[in-house]
Amino acid sequence: MTSMPNENAAAASTDPAAIVRATFTAVFAGNTAPLEEHPGLYQLRQALPALRAAFPDFSAELKQQLVDDDRVASQWIFRGTHLGDLYGIAPTGRSVQFQNLSICRVVGDRIVQYNSEVGFLSVFKQLGVLPLG
């Protein structure tokens, strides 16, 4: 899992990558308070509870980030064990690993826009819901 030596210092930064990294590191570790501080994360506020319910041992690893002015692209690897309902799929007990690619726009010290592509096709294949072919 990604960790920041001093997340408070990173959150106070004006560096867009540091703001995104600190925010998501905290959120993915279970601290949802930062979701209220960033207006662009409303979609994640809605989706995260379902993800955590389906994968109670959910973890995230930051693989890379690219910055272009006020936009930050991040590649995350998510892992977890399917122990709860996931969009109507009963728990399978299977461990999964899947990718998330996101682009955030940062203004000042706030994430104001968030677009994300989660590899749910891979999840459904790993859970045996879709054929592997």
| Residue 92 within any structural domain of the chain | yes
CB 21 within 8 A of CB 10: yes
Q: What is the pLDDT of residues 56-95, one digit of tens each?
A: 999 999 999 999 999 999 999 999 999 999 999 999 999 9
CB under 8 A, 24+ apart: contacts of 41-50: 41/111, 41/114, 43/114, 43/116, 44/114, 44/116, 50/86, 50/87
User: Which pLDDT value is given to residue 21?
Assistant: 95
Structural domain of 97: 7-126
Number of domains in the chain: 1
Judge whether 98 lies within some domain. Answer: yes
In-domain check, residue 133? no
CATH number at residue 101: 3.10.450.50
Residue 1 lies in a domain: no
Residue 131 lies in a domain: no
Residue 106 lies in a domain: yes
Mean of the per-residue pLDDT values of the chain:
89
Question: pTM of the entire structure?
Answer: 0.83
**Partner residues linked to 72 by β-bridges:** 67, 104
What pLDDT, on the 0 to 100 scale, is given for residue 58? 95
Quick check: is 132 in a domain? no
